[in-house]
Structure 1
């Protein structure tokens, strides 16, 4: 029996990363049902129960080494794993996993990854040395390809789309059940807001609170959507506490498939989180991105949707103007998304083919 080892930011209950893992596992099982699949994880029990695969503790060098040694293919299945915007430590950690795999002569596939930014010269050098040893590089966007080439990657790079474009949501009955259990009213159009901790000052909190009140004044309801509850809840509640009107927040944790269904009942999404935006695109829900990382603008360009501004300098008036434009033209925005997303779903089929060839 063949073994596949997937590494990424898994087990932290970040729905974007968990959606990526769900999608890769789905593709592998559809191509080769008899494979043994293992994934790097912060929470091995969670990964086993959620994805029905083996979990490998990210804190055990011995377990990681053994998982790679037993594998026939090592997949980098993260989003933008290789970057130093958060810290150099994370970058070095993932480069080390790739290096171990190549030391053990295992084929390595970069699968639908984002890339960068990498700012430090030493990190660029290390990344280029390691990545040029990878067997196959598949990225999710052209900006990532450009950044890779800028640091000296000479291997061929293929650009397709994010792995999650093959994800299916739970059925409508389950979505209605969730909305009811969360006590979210559906008497008015619903606007979702997804924010995350970042280098955020009081201006961002005040602007988003004021914006939430503005949306409600236009006759809509607002629901905050934590994509990683342990991190997003606090910043969401800070904004809600600064609002004059009542906003809602999802209180329970959900699977990627459930969250895709929840986002599918929105009328508009305003989000920092990339995979909240991707979920909206899959469901053809018009969106406004809030840019904290270049990957947000890169995706908005792909789906031709609006950027509400950089989070550090977010402007209330500009955000309201973008929102009003979408609100007035929701149908056409949704149609525009439909055309873009159909192309992305076709690219997702290319991902299946690439994976199939690497698993032969």
Structure 2
């Protein structure tokens, strides 16, 4: 079961043994629904999805456990790959294989994004697994089209489940919330394929233009306040921006309250835009990836790539009730399935 290398690692670092035993306990203890995803990466958006799936199933009477992205099996009757841009081959196919293994026997893929599946092996895994899935819902049309180009499985476009969060209606602080993420550490061909940038883009020049843009925006808005959605966001902001930067807290509740308090919001991370929409804040969205552009199209607002000209123009979001309905459909369709 364990290689010599695994045993040596455990002897050298006993905490790894405790972590592994805890994972085995979580997998084997009795539960009705197991949900696998990237919920423990420090990304607030991913954590929000994990907490939401836990709540949705638990409130409907199901014993539910949330598994990390390395888990490939559990003792649950129902297995769900839940939310996030998890179907891709950025770093090869091993993680993709683990995710698909988890749901391969009639499981559910719910509310996910599909940034891209470039390799022949990734496409083979999709073709061999998706026809066996009980229900597949994706958060945007681009994700649906990528999957449909690879296999004949039925795919339903819904919306990100995080739209089911509610506005905490905190007292306003008359600040302008801002969120930016670090620039990509990727080659131009990967920026082109997965993130829809021009295939001739110079990543170094684009990064410089992006940083110049966000510095200007922070100078032009009234009372900017940086709200991190990842520890990396805070580090990036403290390095490049001369504004007040809130300390990162790995708390969905706290982050949503921070967004609720501001008057308006410059958004970059996908879930910073969703949180701002849920809190009904005027937004200036920076679409660093196609998933953000897809979402701004559905919200009927204009977005801008990070390295291009970005006017200081905040817009009122539209169609929030429709997107909440589509987000509820993720669970409605699942509960109605014969295999749930």
Task: Work out the CA distance in 2 between the residues paired with 1:275 and 1:149.
Answer: 25
Please say if residues 80 and 109 of structure 2, whose CA atoms lie closer than 8 Å, have aligned partners that are also in contact: yes
Structure 1 residue runs of 4+, over 4 Å off?
A: none
Task: Work out the CA distance in 2 between the residues paired with 1:355 and 1:29.
Answer: 14
Structure 1 residue 189, shift from structure 2 partner: 4.1
Please say if residues 268 and 286 of structure 1, whose CA atoms lie closer than 8 Å, have aligned partners that are also in contact: yes
Task: Work out the CA distance in 1 between the residues paired with 2:143 and 2:160.
Answer: 12
Verify: 1:38 aligned to 2:65, yes or no. Answer: yes
Task: Work out the CA distance in 1 between the residues paired with 2:304 and 2:115.
Answer: 22
Question: What TM-score comes out, normalization by structure 1 length?
Answer: 0.73
Stretches of structure 2 that go unaligned for 5 or more consecutive residues are 1-29, 186-202
Please say if residues 198 and 292 of structure 1, whose CA atoms lie closer than 8 Å, have aligned partners that are also in contact: no
Q: Secondary structure at the match of 1:165?
A: helix
Structure 1 residue 298, shift from structure 2 partner: 0.8
Structure 1 residue 252, shift from structure 2 partner: 4.0
Task: Work out the CA distance in 2 between the residues paired with 1:131 and 1:92.
Answer: 17
> Aligned residue for 2:124?
125
Please say if residues 84 and 111 of structure 2, whose CA atoms lie closer than 8 Å, have aligned partners that are also in contact: yes
CA shift digits 1:75-125 (9 cap, x unpaired): 1113110112x322xx432333422543xx4x3101111112222333223
Please say if residues 234 and 248 of structure 2, whose CA atoms lie closer than 8 Å, have aligned partners that are also in contact: no
Verify: 1:158 aligned to 2:156, yes or no. Answer: yes
Q: Which has the higher helix share?
A: 1
> Aligned residue for 2:290?
294
Structure 1 residue 148, shift from structure 2 partner: 0.9
Match of 2:209 among 190, 196, 203: 203
Verify: 1:283 aligned to 2:312, yes or no. Answer: no
Structure 1 residue 135, shift from structure 2 partner: 1.7
Q: Secondary structure at the match of 1:227?
A: coil
> Aligned residue for 1:249?
245
Structure 1 residue 170, shift from structure 2 partner: 4.6
1:76-95 aligned at under 5 Å gives the runs 76-84=81-89, 86-88=90-92, 91-95=93-97
Please say if residues 103 and 133 of structure 2, whose CA atoms lie closer than 8 Å, have aligned partners that are also in contact: no
Deviates more, 1:22-31 or 1:254-263: 254-263
Question: 1:38/1:191 Cα in 2 relative to 1: closer, same or farther (>3 Å)?
Answer: closer
Task: Work out the CA distance in 1 between the residues paired with 2:74 and 2:255.
Answer: 35
Please say if residues 206 and 239 of structure 1, whose CA atoms lie closer than 8 Å, have aligned partners that are also in contact: no
Deviates more, 1:250-259 or 1:3-12: 250-259
Match of 1:193 among 169, 175, 179: 179
Task: Work out the CA distance in 2 between the residues paired with 1:267 and 1:308.
Answer: 21
> Aligned residue for 2:114?
115
Q: Secondary structure at the match of 2:179?
A: strand
Question: 1:100/1:295 Cα in 2 relative to 1: closer, same or farther (>3 Å)?
Answer: closer
Match of 2:79 among 74, 86, 105: 74
